[in-house]
Structures are given as C-alpha cells and as structure tokens.
Structure 1
Amino acid sequence: MGIFPPCSSTDMLGKLLETVCGKNRDKPIEIENGERPKIKGTVVLMKKNILDVKDVGASILDRLHELFHRGVSIQLVSADQIDPENGRGKLGKAAILEKWNATLTSVSATDVKFDVNFEWDESMGAPGALIVRNHHHSQFYLKTVTLDDVPGHGQLHFVCNSWVYPQHRYKYNRVFFANKTYLPSNTPEALRPYREEELDNLRGNGTGMLKEWDRVYDYAYYNDLGNPNGGPEHERPVLGGSKQYPYPRRGRTGRAPTKKDPTTESRLRLLDLSIYVPRDEKFSHVKFADFIAYAVKSVGQVLLPEVASVFDKTFNEFDSFQDVLDLYEGGIKLPSRAMDKLKHCISWELLKELVRSDGEGMMKFPVPSVIKEDKTAWRTDEEFGREMLAGVNPVIIRSLQEFPPTSKLDPIVYGNQTSTIGREHIEKNMNGQTVDDALRQSKLFILDHHDALMPYLKRINTTTTKTYASRTILLLQDDGTLKPLAIELSLPHPQGDKHGAQSEVFTPAEHGTEGSVWQLAKAYVAVNDSGYHQLISHWLYTHAVIEPFIIATNRHLSALHPMYKLLQPHFRDTMNINALARHTLINAGGVLEMTVFPSKFALEMSSAVYKNWVFPEQALPADLLKRGIAVPDSTKPHGLKLLIEDYPFAVDGLEIWSAIEEWVREYCSFYYHNDGMVQGDSELQSWWTELRNVGHGDLKDEPWWPQMQTRDELVQACTIIIWIASALHAAVNFGQYPYAGYLPNRPTVSRRFMPEPGTPEYAELASNPDLAFLKTITAQFQTLLGVSLIEILSRHSSDEIYLGQRDNPEWTSDTIPRDAFTRFGAKLVEIENHILARNTDKKYKNRTGPVKMPYTLLIPNSSDYSKVGGLTGKGIPNSISI
C-alpha cells in the first residue's frame, strides 16, 4: 500500500513546502459552508502508480498540496442556463475531492473512489458538463463522475476516461461532458462553446514538439522510419505526400528533423518508448506491463552474441526439424556467462519471463497449435490449401477467371508477365476435369503474389534474400477442399525487365527428389504469403489505414457526438501500438526488416500496394465479390453465395459483418432520421472531408470515396471502419502464433534459390531433404526473433475489451441505442455457438484440416478467456490493440 513517506530532513520538507506555497502558486480553493442543499457525487479515478513515479517526492507533494487546499476541484456546468457575462453555461461552485490523504493507494494500478459534495443552485438547471482542475503535482486517470439524486434529473453519469495533468500543463480548462448525446445542431447553447473549444484544443496549432501531457491529434507523413545520420543503409523514403510513395497519415509527434535530411524526423533511442501519442491513447498500466514483459524477447541486439555462442554444429542453422521442435520442448540453454550478462541488462522480473519455469531454458516457446496434435500434417497439400481459407492470411485467394493467369503490370516496363502454367501442367491432376470445365464451374482458384513482388525482386534479391514471385493454382474438389495443381516461381529476366519474367512451373509429387522439390516450391509460396500478410494484410490494411480515422475522429467529432460514441471504442490502443511499431518493428533495421524477406524494401513495397487500396472494397461482401469468391444471391442471408461453401473466414466473417451492420444501422437511424440530417451535420461533414483530403490525402481524388450525403453511406462507412478495426484485424493477427509460431509452416525468408540438377545443393536435397529445406528457409536467429515477435502480437491483453462489450454500461444515456447494443451482444453469442457447431461438423473439412486445429479466430468472445488474455487463438477485440 502507498504510505505517506517519513521526512528525515527538515531541509527536504522546507523545499517541498516552498514548492507548494511558493510565490507563483495559485490561490487556494475556497470551500465555504453554505446553507444550500448538497448533491453527492462519486469520483472514480486511478492515481499515478507509485511504482511509476519518476520524482520520488511526487506522492509527498500531492499530499502537501491537499494540506494547503490545493487539491482536485470540480465545477458543474449548466446545460440549461447561460451566464450572460460570457455566453457559456452557468458554473456552479467549485467542490474538492474529499479525504485524498486518508485514502491509501495500492502500489498496483487500481481504481480509487472519492466523495465530492456540490452546493446545489436550482437556478442552474441540469448539469451538462464538468470542469476539472488538478492542483496536484502529478497526474491521475479520471474514469467516471456520478451525481446522485440531482433534483429533477435523478442520477447523472460522466464517463471521462482521461488522464488529467496538473493544471499548469494546460492553457485551458479540462471539460468533461455528461453521457447525453447531441448532434451539433441540437447542442444546448450553454454547452456549445465548450464543445467547440474542446475540439480546437484537440486539434492543436500544428507546430512544435508535442509533450506527454499534450492532447493534440494531428497528421504527419511516415518520415520517421529511417535514420539518415546513421549512413545510407539507414535511409528510407518518406511515405506519404507524393505520387511515388503514397501512404496513409500517422500521428504527428513534432520531433526535430535529422541533421543530414531535413525531410526525415529524428528518432528516439531504441529503448526509449516515450514516443508521443496523445496521453489517452497510451496503453493502460496493465497492458503496458504485459507488453514490456514479452517485448524484451524481441530485442535481438542483446541476445544475438549469446544465443549464437550455443549453436552446436552449424552457425545460425537448424540441423534438423527436431532442433526446431526443441524450441518448444526444451528451449535453448544459455551458459552461465550469458545469464550473468542478461541480469545486468534487464530487470529480474523480465529475466524470469525470458527464462522459463526451470530457470534455464532460454527461448522456450509455447507449442503452436499447428503442430500440437500432429507434428508433420502441416506438410500435406491439403493443409497447404486449407490455410488459404482458414489460416492467418485467408484474404488473398481469388477465383481464377482466365487461363493462363495474366498480369496487370505495365508491359512497356515489365514485358510479358503472363503465366507459363499450361494445361499440360494441371489437367493431369484435375480428377478428370478439363481447364475449361473447371473455369466454367468456378472450380479453379489462385493465390497470386506475382504482380506485387515482381517490381521489387531484383532489389530484394541483392540482399541475403533469394526468393521468387509466385502463382499457385488450386482446384476446388467435391469434398470442399482445395487441391494444389501447380506453382509457378518467377524471377526478373536477366536481360532486363522489359524482357518479361523468367519462370519455372512445379507440380505435386510425394516421393523422392521430386517430392522434396515440391515441398520447397510450397515453402517459397509460404515465404511470399508471409511477407505479404505482415506488410499488407496485417500492417497496411488494418493498422495503417485506420490511424487517419482515429485522428480525424478526435479532431472533428465531439465526445458529445453520436458517431464519436459509436467509433471511439474501436480505436483503443491503436495509435500507441502503431507508434511502437514505427519505433522498433517497421523502422530501418527494425525487427520486421530483420525477419521478413523484403527487408529494407518492405514499407516501400507496401506503399506501392496502397495505391490500389479502395475504401468501399474493404467491406467483406464487396471484398468477396471482387475476389470472385462469391456471387450475388438475394436468397441467401447475406445476399451472397459463396463459391467455396466451406470457407471458414468468409462464413464466420459474413455473420460478424452482418451483425455489425445491423447494429450500426439501428444506432445511426436513431440519430439520423433522414439523409438531410446527415448532410446538415457540420462535425460529421468536416470529419469526412478531412479524413479524405488529409488523412488519406494521397487518394483524395479517387472517385470511389463515399460522398457522405446519405444515411446509407454513413452506415456503410462506419461498418467498414468497425469491421477493419475488430474482426478483420483479429482474423489476420491472432492466428500468427498458432500457425506461424512454427516457422517451417510459415517461413518468412528464403535464403537460396531452388537447387538445379547437377549442383551440390541438389545432391543435398536428394540425400538429406530436411536439412536442405531448413537451409533454404528462415535462419535460426531470425526464427528466434520472428517467433518472439509473433508471440507478442498474438497475445490478448488481460484487460482486453471485446466486440459487443463496453468499458462502462453508462456509455450513453439514450436507452434505444443501449438496447440495440444489448441485442448486438446477444447476436454475437449466437454467432459463437454457430461457429462452435460448424467446427464439430465433419462435413466441413476446412474447419480443422489435417492438423486438427479448429478455426476459432472469429469467435467474438467467450467467458473462458475474456478476462485472462494470452495465446487463446480466439476472440475479437473492439480495436487494433496489439
């Protein structure tokens, strides 16, 4: 418990008193005893965690401030009565939080309740806002304020959820509104100035370096990934603001530019995690502690020399698949000198997390689900195809509409990029069907990474990476499974890009050297898919594209606005995790560049893909139609007929999508009775205009942007935002460790090309195919680092808030939207039961597959893990929270 520390020095006490009572201090808050009746209030807050206090005197100072009546004050603001002197809501008399010094504070981050009593003036009418002033030395997290028995109004709730810093840190008052919702035109005149000024404060002035107590939401380019001062190898192009490198905007920090390149923002030290995001966007104490405990494992610079020293046979290589399995069954053991060094580098608490229960095993990972039941089933062709429908990246496969597959790359620049896969390659394995028959019956599908990678392959392959651009053709069989028919691996033509691609086609084989070659061909496809998944499906299409929505929402939609209340829960922690990603993961030389094959070209490649991003196509039905996976069918519940009936991601996803859409439509219809109300909503219109013209400004002239003139457009836009931030991110994130925690199943790098007959590598493939496979894919240290990373990214926090949940039941006072939200939650429970039933139905072979791993990534929530967190492989958080 937090106890008032003893003062052993009168000098120290004198200095503290001088700090409190100095010449420049504010006047004490005067609380007079009047005859007016009192309104009792309850304030729930979290004091600054004692263990986090950088200034050892902070807690002492707060208590001394209390002794001199400089505590935490709250004033009620009328929603009905205007003060004629300033045109604002009439203010009540300031009241202070009571018994601060008498309240013991836990050393852990826990909520504390305080009483506050307000003098009641009947002429004020209903309180609509609060002004909170913190006259303490340190900040606190204000959760809620509840007023009991307000005459004529009953109980009133103020859901605050904000860090309040000492008053001198602000040039304005901290204002919190009651949980009543207003469109801008319906806002009581008494509250209108507070509403408008609060948005002005959140927008800031666009200049200067932002500090931790600032609450400013502003935009910047991705100009903080490189470090030109470190030399050419650390330089990276600025993403965003140009036709060459378009990108969504990120949150501005205002850090100074580098000395060498004024267009590049300077970077913080590697272990300095104080990168600016608005304070209320930072992780909670609980989550930050969890995050740090696991993130330390991915700091490879500390572990590399010591881990490398224990490799027994070949430096940085796995010698057998058993070596890989030892990561989960035994761990890598460090010599005592390595342990001693680690004790000096990190805290004991973090060391205990690294060194598992036996105190010796280093890097002993949980067993990934893909090998939990069967250690070899991942190598089957059926599992290879199944993971395109139910794996960690189930959003790429599409219907093959023409044969042979063609390319959209500019033939003037890249020559003929049409596939060399011929009918003779695939018809022999098509169960008696012809290509024409299969095309007509929509039975052929393709996993195509050719066009995305080909423009970058020449540069990528100048690094330690040696990889291809791949196309994989598959047949949908009568039992619903996908059968791979051929894999094409392509390289840029050695005589120049304009000469087209140099390609080779591989077909299935089970035995001998041919079978080993086929296993390698599948590995190259998995490498392509792993890189595309991390850079595009995961990072770009969820994390990066959502951040501008978060910034625009806070800049233009008041906390009183119904759309703010709808969307805000789906933005929790996203700016923080994105900032940390820019700092340590996607930056020059960061973990992603070290572990995924595009290396230093990774983010540049994602910029090229962003050119083709279309917001309306992020809706799941639109995405399935675009990929040819579904066709319109009005007789179906979702208006679509899936061409692959047993497509777990799509089947589960459509149910989730429809539930979100129904909830959003009910919610929006309560506040917007017609299209004119959408058009007349000034905050909504400025939100959408800035989102399009600034947040995604590099695509602002695209014709596909909704015009935000109708209620249907509003419903569709909000449904897409919520879908991306919740279910889509869950589908492409939380399966990472279950599927890719075993790197041979999802290698991220290939280090040598397919061996040619007559070479020593080919002879090795014939004599020791497993060793040849392991020498081709991700190296040992990259595996350790990569698995550490995805273990962190795949964990649910213990304080996660899932789809259909809110952190406070009083999030709005409007009963009809609250009832609709209750129905939404009940619908998600129904969907969970549907998913569980499908997973046990043996006719759906793609639900579990040869690895006997049920598809659970889109299970919305479940009481068996929702308060525990960890590597559950299921659950849809409200937001992109990791």
Structure 2
Amino acid sequence: MVAPFLGACTNLERELQNGHIFLADYEALQGVPANTINGKQQYIAAPMCLLWKNPQDKLVPIAIQLSQTPGKNVPIFLPSDSEYDWLLAKIWVRSADFQVHEADAHLLRTHLLAEVFSIATTRQLPMGHPVYKLIIPHLRYTLEINTFARTKLLGPGGFFDQASVTGNGGVPVILKKAMAEVTYSSLCLPDDINGRAMEHVPNYLYRDDGMKIWEAVESFVSNIINYYYTSDVMVKEDPELQAWVAEIFMEGFLNNKSSEVPSFLATKDSVIKYLTMVIFRCSAQHAAVNTAQFDFYSWMPNGPTTMKSPPPSTKGVTTMETILEALPDVSSTTGGINSVWVLSNEPMDKRRLGYYPDERFTEKTPQEFIKKFQYQLSEISKCIQERNKTMHLPYIYLDPSEIENSVSI
C-alpha cells in the first residue's frame, strides 16, 4: 500500500530497518465515551497514523487507519486517495491528537504531577530543607491554577463538557489509561527521547532545545545537591527527603512499581536526576505543551475539539461539504479557541526559568550556583533566538526567556 510513496529505491521493510518509520498511536482513546453537545451526539476515534522520514528529512504521513481494529468498514487511507478522503483522515488524526494532548501530555504529565509534587513538598519538607528551597519556586501558583481548571475546564458545565468530545466523563477514562502507561523514563527527557527512537530525527526542536535546558537544570541541581550532601549515606539517612519521595510514589503514582518511579533515593546521582525531572516537568515541559496551543489550535481543523459525524467507513464518498458537516459547530469552535488563547498566555507577574526573587539560599556558594544557572540559560536563549531568525516557522516555546518557572496557567 505505501510502497508508491517511498520511492523506487526502497521499501517498507528497508525503511523500518533504517529507523525511518514511526507510528502515532491513539489507543488511549479506544472505548472513551463520546460527549453530547447542544443535544447532538459527537464522535471520537482511536486512529493510528504511520509516518515516514523522507529523504528531505521531513516526517510525513503515509497511511492512516481510524480504528484500532482492522476490518472491511475500516479503510486504510493513503496519500493517493482522493483529496478530501485524505484530508478528512488527517483531520481525524489531529482531533485525536488534541484529546490525548490535553488529557495526557498537558493535564496529567505537567499539571497533575506538579500538584503532587507541590502537596508532598508542603507536607514533608521543612522550609529550611535545601530541596524545599530548590523546588518551591517551581511550584508557584500550581494549586491555584489546578483548582481553577477543575471548575472552569474539567468540572460540570466547563469547557470540556461544552466543547470537547471527551467532556461529560471521557477525560477521567483517558487519565486512567494514561496513568497506567506513565513510566519514570517517559518523564525524564533524555530517556524519553531514546525510548521513542527520536534521537536522530532531524529538525526536532523540542528535543534540541529541551536537552539543552535539561542539561542546564541538571548541572544546577548537581551543584546544589553536592554542596549540601557530601555522601550517598547522607542521602539515605535524610528522613525528610525519603518521606517526600515515598509520598509522591504512593499518592501520585499509586505505588505502581512497574512505572519504575523511585520510592527511595539511595545516591546523590539519583536525587539529582529526580529533582531535574521535577523542575523540568514544572517549567520547560509545561511550556512545551502549553504555550504553543493557540498558535496551532486556533486554526480549528488542525485540532478539532470534537467531530459531529462518525469516522468514514468507506472511501470515495467524502466531499468538502461532508468535511464541513463533520467539523465542530460554532459554539464548540469558539469555546476551544477561547480556551487555548487563555492557556497560552502566561500570568502578568511572570517569573522566568532560573530567576528567584524570593531569596532562599543565603549562603554565598549556592548563590553563585544560581548565577551560573542563569548565565547558562541566557546563553541557550541567545542560541535559540539566533536560530529562529533563519526559520520560516520559529520554535520559540523552549526559549528560557519565555519559560515560566512553574505551572501557573
């Protein structure tokens, strides 16, 4: 099926062996109940989209199946199909991506995890503890914004109920499935990139910029931890640190040992990696999944919040009229655009990554570490801004000067 799109000098098996084939799989949407909006039934799909890294170093879709289960009423859509068949199939993938992005990548893996970190920090770490001083700036406003989200976005009558196919009960189903798939490696950027075989994909700017920030955060955390902990024994025998990590594992990750999330930290290196993960999740990762939403979702067909018609079961019948009939109605569209506009705007009293106006570390050496961290981030920012000058579509979302210290919107 896909051979014609790969060129005469290769085939699917060879491209698989070369690591050029990728799969965007939205299995998390399988069995999720679909919402009813303004009295009309809405529709959801759990598609699979096959992508190919072509000789021009671009990831392009080469096959789309709009169900997890193949069958005679589940066609595989191809670029060679009619213009409108292929267009509608891609729109369905983008709608699925919107649902998974909001519930899993955005809500679960930044907002809700940051809330777990925040509550455990308040309960288990004294204000004088170096780990408390290190991470508390990265938890600013998180409980407030999550409380707001529960009422205005996720609660009864909120955005998801009014404008999204996953409203009225769908979001908790996705969250439960997604939570079962969360692993420690997926929360740590270097491990996540390797685990998804994305380390060599060209023009992957989330990876390129994110790794620079991860390494800067890791260096900063390493300096602080090695200053206050002179041995691994000190780590093992720190009851407050261990209580903090244990509570996060128990309450946040539900004692799921298969996640490989630590419940005990035995070495300085393990503390450094864990704290780097926490700070990155609450700052850069949230910026990566949040700040771009209006730019990419304000063009509604690029991320429909819902679909009014079921997925096509045959080829050759789709027209522009049937596509327009499938897209969200005006109220759902405006609700979605309004929501992503609000979410993409950081608070007025923004505190960018690495800047800590509330002085907590009073010793000279940690203060020097902070200055070094700020310098590293400023250099990363300069590099990103220079690169963006040459790009038709700049990637600005992981510029440290634009990253908020915490999940605050």
TM-score range, shorter chain: over 0.9
CA change 1:795–1:485 in 2 (3 A) is same
Counterpart check, 1:859 vs 2:399: yes
Alignment counterpart, residue 231 of structure 2, candidates 657, 662, 674 = 674
Alignment-derived partner of residue 212 in structure 2? 655
- Structure with higher Rg: it is 1
Counterpart check, 1:577 vs 2:145: yes
Distance (whole Å) between structure 2 residues aligned to residue 442 and residue 701 of structure 1: 31
Deviation at 1:725, TM superposition (A): 0.3
* Cα pair 1:490 1:504 within 8 Å, conserved: no
Alignment-derived partner of residue 452 in structure 1? 28
The residue correspondences of 1:619-634 to structure 2 (distance < 5 A) are 619-629=188-198
Alignment-derived partner of residue 361 in structure 2? 812
* Cα pair 2:35 2:43 within 8 Å, conserved: yes
CA change 1:438–1:840 in 2 (3 A) is farther
CA change 1:623–1:755 in 2 (3 A) is closer
Counterpart check, 1:803 vs 2:353: yes
CA change 1:752–1:804 in 2 (3 A) is same
Counterpart check, 1:713 vs 2:263: no
Aligned partner letter, 1:429: F
Alignment-derived partner of residue 4 in structure 2? 428
Counterpart check, 1:699 vs 2:268: no
Deviation at 1:485, TM superposition (A): 0.7
* Cα pair 1:491 1:503 within 8 Å, conserved: no
CA change 1:491–1:878 in 2 (3 A) is same
Question: 1:592-613 CA distances to partner (integer Å, 9 max, x unpaired)?
Answer: 2322222221222211210121
Counterpart check, 1:880 vs 2:404: no
Alignment counterpart, residue 329 of structure 2, candidates 756, 763, 779 = 779
CA change 1:703–1:607 in 2 (3 A) is closer
When you count helix as a share of all residues, which structure comes out higher? 2
Deviation at 1:542, TM superposition (A): 0.6
Counterpart check, 1:539 vs 2:115: no
Describe the SS at the equivalent of 1:455. Answer: coil
CA change 1:758–1:478 in 2 (3 A) is closer
Alignment-derived partner of residue 134 in structure 2? 566
CA change 1:527–1:703 in 2 (3 A) is closer
CA change 1:470–1:461 in 2 (3 A) is farther
Distance (whole Å) between structure 2 residues aligned to residue 616 and residue 677 of structure 1: 25
CA change 1:589–1:815 in 2 (3 A) is same
CA change 1:531–1:830 in 2 (3 A) is same
* Cα pair 1:542 1:729 within 8 Å, conserved: yes
Counterpart check, 1:604 vs 2:163: no
Aligned partner letter, 2:52: L
Counterpart check, 1:793 vs 2:343: yes
Describe the SS at the equivalent of 1:473. Answer: strand
Counterpart check, 1:442 vs 2:19: yes
Distance (whole Å) between structure 2 residues aligned to residue 491 and residue 444 of structure 1: 18
Describe the SS at the equivalent of 1:643. Answer: coil
Question: 1:423-462 CA distances to partner (integer Å, 9 max, x unpaired)?
Answer: xx2111012321111111111111111x212233xx3288
CA change 1:618–1:755 in 2 (3 A) is closer
Report how many residues are paired.
403
Distance (whole Å) between structure 2 residues aligned to residue 672 and residue 565 of structure 1: 14
Deviation at 1:757, TM superposition (A): 6.8
Describe the SS at the equivalent of 1:739. Answer: helix
Question: 1:298-320 CA distances to partner (integer Å, 9 max, x unpaired)?
Answer: xxxxxxxxxxxxxxxxxxxxxxx
Alignment counterpart, residue 518 of structure 1, candidates 82, 86, 95 = 86
The residue correspondences of 1:372-411 to structure 2 (distance < 5 A) are none
Distance (whole Å) between structure 2 residues aligned to residue 577 and residue 703 of structure 1: 27
TM-score by length of 1: 0.44
Aligned partner letter, 1:487: I
Deviation at 1:747, TM superposition (A): 1.2
CA change 1:502–1:455 in 2 (3 A) is farther
Deviation at 1:673, TM superposition (A): 0.9
When you count strand as a share of all residues, which structure comes out higher? 1
Aligned partner letter, 1:580: F
Alignment-derived partner of residue 158 in structure 2? 590
Deviation at 1:755, TM superposition (A): 5.0
CA change 1:588–1:607 in 2 (3 A) is farther
Alignment-derived partner of residue 476 in structure 1? 53
TM-score by length of 2: 0.93
The residue correspondences of 1:114-129 to structure 2 (distance < 5 A) are none
Counterpart check, 1:729 vs 2:256: no
Deviation at 1:697, TM superposition (A): 5.4
* Cα pair 2:164 2:305 within 8 Å, conserved: yes
Distance (whole Å) between structure 1 residues aligned to residue 130 and residue 79 of structure 2: 56
CA change 1:734–1:758 in 2 (3 A) is closer
Aligned partner letter, 1:802: R
Distance (whole Å) between structure 1 residues aligned to residue 72 and residue 382 of structure 2: 49
Counterpart check, 1:552 vs 2:128: no
Distance (whole Å) between structure 1 residues aligned to residue 118 and residue 163 of structure 2: 29
Question: 1:8-31 CA distances to partner (integer Å, 9 max, x unpaired)?
Answer: xxxxxxxxxxxxxxxxxxxxxxxx
Distance (whole Å) between structure 2 residues aligned to residue 480 and residue 624 of structure 1: 18
Distance (whole Å) between structure 1 residues aligned to residue 121 and residue 243 of structure 2: 10
Describe the SS at the equivalent of 1:698. Answer: coil
* Structure 2: gaps spanning 5 or more residues: none
Deviation at 1:469, TM superposition (A): 1.5
Distance (whole Å) between structure 1 residues aligned to residue 94 and residue 196 of structure 2: 20
CA change 1:501–1:650 in 2 (3 A) is farther
Deviation at 1:784, TM superposition (A): 1.0
Alignment counterpart, residue 464 of structure 1, candidates 41, 45, 50 = 41
Alignment-derived partner of residue 59 in structure 1? none
Deviation at 1:625, TM superposition (A): 1.4
Distance (whole Å) between structure 2 residues aligned to residue 467 and residue 790 of structure 1: 20
Q: Point out the more displaced range, 475-484 or 659-668.
A: 475-484
Aligned partner letter, 2:126: S
CA change 1:502–1:622 in 2 (3 A) is farther
Alignment-derived partner of residue 241 in structure 2? 684
* Cα pair 2:51 2:59 within 8 Å, conserved: yes
* Cα pair 2:35 2:164 within 8 Å, conserved: no
Alignment-derived partner of residue 839 in structure 1? 388
Identical pairs, percent = 30
Distance (whole Å) between structure 2 residues aligned to residue 558 and residue 461 of structure 1: 45
Deviation at 1:702, TM superposition (A): 4.0
Distance (whole Å) between structure 1 residues aligned to residue 191 and residue 357 of structure 2: 31
Describe the SS at the equivalent of 1:691. Answer: helix
Distance (whole Å) between structure 2 residues aligned to residue 536 and residue 550 of structure 1: 19
Distance (whole Å) between structure 2 residues aligned to residue 557 and residue 437 of structure 1: 53
* Cα pair 2:138 2:282 within 8 Å, conserved: yes
Deviation at 1:839, TM superposition (A): 2.6
Distance (whole Å) between structure 2 residues aligned to residue 815 and residue 725 of structure 1: 26
CA change 1:616–1:437 in 2 (3 A) is closer
CA change 1:757–1:731 in 2 (3 A) is closer
Describe the SS at the equivalent of 1:708. Answer: coil
CA change 1:757–1:698 in 2 (3 A) is closer
Deviation at 1:522, TM superposition (A): 0.5
The residue correspondences of 1:5-84 to structure 2 (distance < 5 A) are none
Deviation at 1:683, TM superposition (A): 1.3
Distance (whole Å) between structure 1 residues aligned to residue 210 and residue 327 of structure 2: 32
* Cα pair 2:48 2:66 within 8 Å, conserved: yes
Aligned partner letter, 1:558: P
Distance (whole Å) between structure 2 residues aligned to residue 703 and residue 583 of structure 1: 30
Describe the SS at the equivalent of 1:673. Answer: coil
Counterpart check, 1:615 vs 2:192: no
Deviation at 1:776, TM superposition (A): 1.0
Aligned partner letter, 2:24: L
